[in-house]
Amino acid sequence: MKCPKCGTENMEVFSVRKVAVERCSSCGGIWFDARELSQLLDQDARHVASLRRGSVNVQLEGKKGFCPRDGAELLRVYSSIDHSVILDACAECRGIWLDGGEFEKLFTAPQS
């Protein structure tokens, strides 16, 4: 799978609570297939510690990306959880890309 932002060819696949996600070893971004992000945001902090790493890469933050599953251009959408986070979402497969450090922002956002 190719990283939608930096173009690294091989993203690392790992499981968190039986959910397989892909992380770019170069930029730290994470790909979530449909419904995976919401599943993992509901987990206890100790279970998702591996997703809470990473830092924002300013050069890639505003860059348009393409879905690693189907090649569609990703839509940039403000998160309803934290409006400072802009999700990159695929309208075709419903997958979501988070740049490095964005999972942490969503996970620690105050719940309303």
Mean pLDDT of successive 10-residue stretches along the chain, which has 112 residues? 88 91 92 95 88 76 89 95 93 96 90 63
Is residue 49 one of the residues assigned to a domain? yes
In terms of phi and psi (left: phi > 0; alpha: psi -120 to 50; beta: otherwise), the region of 101 is: left
- For 109, other C-beta atoms within 10 Å of its C-beta total 16
Q: Tally the domains of the chain.
A: 1
pLDDT value for 112:
57
Q: What is the pTM of this model?
A: 0.90
39: domain range?
12-107
**48 part of a folded domain:** yes
112 within some domain: no
